[in-house]
Amino acid sequence: MDIRIERIYDKPHGDKSFRILVDKLWPRGLSKDKVSIDLWQRDIGPSNSLRKWFAHDGNKWSKFKNHYFKELDNNKASVGMILDRAKEQPITLLYGAREQRFNNAVALKEYLEKKIKE
């Protein structure tokens, strides 16, 4: 399975992956009709309280992932949909945050890759 990550503000790489926006909130300054996505899976993003608490703080990364993974464990339908899609074709998880290392798409990719191995 091929799971990639891209910032939604960056120009798409031109591949044929299925592009999924995985943020709860629509990215600022982007028009929905001018963005190259196949699906906005907003319910896969972290809860508002977790997202606000984390605030892309690298010092909270480990705790954030633990809490977010628990939320994902309780969201089997959305996780299953993404895993099923990933079995069919490459997918790209899109995020809006400026922070490239500590964001929900990075955590989600790690979670999905663990699920694939189970």
Give domain limits for the chain: 3-117
pTM of the predicted protein model: 0.93
* DSSP string for 13-37: ----PEEEE--SSPPTT--GGGS--
Helix (H) or strand (E) holding 40: strand 39-40
Residue-wise pLDDT tens digits, 83-104: 999 999 999 999 999 989 999 9
pLDDT one-digit tens code per residue, 48-66: 999 999 998 999 999 999 9
CA-CA distance, 58 to 101, in Å (whole number)?
8
